Chain A
Amino acid sequence: AQSVAQPEDQVNVAEGNPLTVKCTYSVSGNPYLFWYVQYPNRGLQFLLKYITGDNLVKGSYGFEAEFNKSQTSFHLKKPSALVSDSALYFCAVRSILTGGGNKLTFGTGTQLKVEL
């Protein structure tokens, strides 16, 4: 079974500092990995994904993620955090359904808090 783990329930960072939200994965075959963000009382917004190619993936709102095959990790990063980045972040791994569509298996989420 495919899975992802987010080892930190919460990450605190000062505005202007770099941020990292961690994710490790366990898959059979090639991993297809995603990051989503959820603001309070909202649905999930897609940030970025890794399918193949460059290990550094750039996404929305200045976020990027680094795929590391040897460490089975896909950490989300941003060089300079903003207070408005405070939200709940989810890592997910995708598997294809034979009948069509795909299945995302999500981590438990990491609450990011950016303080002034």
Chain B
Amino acid sequence: ETGVTQTPRHLVMGMTNKKSLKCEQHLGHNAMYWYKQSAKKPLELMFVYSLEERVENNSVPSRFSPECPNSSHLFLHLHTLQPEDSALYLCASSRGTSGGRATDTQYFGPGTRLTVL
């Protein structure tokens, strides 16, 4: 176990549904990340939060809405998704504080396998 948990592990939703993915880290880290992993594609960074503030938004469509209420929790709210959004969504965390640390390692959760019908 890496100290990063994600729920649910599997999610099937219709295009008109609204659902949320949850990530929790037990490592005392300050930075949290959402990645998307699609078949045959490199991992795509979606969002980065540092000390609960969003510091990176990688041109992600507005149907994905992140929320970071505190440094231990990260959510990804989903609404009106498309079938091409089906993928494995990975959460990660690292120590990263303002200015970053060169040695920071990101630790990943097990992912949520999302299927959009």
List residues of A whose CB falls within 8 A of some B CB: 32, 34, 36, 41-46, 49, 51, 90, 94, 96-109
Contact = CB atoms under 8 A, between A and B. Distances in A.
A101 B111 CA distance: 20
B96 A100 contact: yes
B105 to A, nearest CB: 6
A97 B2 contact: no
B104 A102 contact: yes
Contacts of B48: 97, 99, 101, 103
Interface stretch (B11-19, B51-59, B78-86): B51-59
Nearest to A107: B42
A57 to B, nearest CB: 12
Interface string B72-101: 000000000000000000101010111111
Interface size class of B (residues with CB under 8 A): 35 or more
Given A43-B2, A44-B90, A108 B100 contact: no
B87 to A, nearest CB: 13
Interface of chain B, main secondary structure: loop
A100 B42 contact: no
A74 B96 CA distance: 24
A43 B109 contact: yes
26 contacts: A32-B102, A42-B111, A43-B2, A43-B109, A45-B2, A94-B102, A97-B48, A97-B96, A98-B99, A99-B48, A99-B53, A99-B55, A99-B56, A100-B53, A100-B98, A101-B33, A101-B48, A101-B55, A101-B56, A101-B104, A102-B94, A102-B101, A105-B45, A106-B43, A108-B41, A108-B42
Interface string B30-68: 110100000001110100111101011000000000000
Nearest to A34: B105
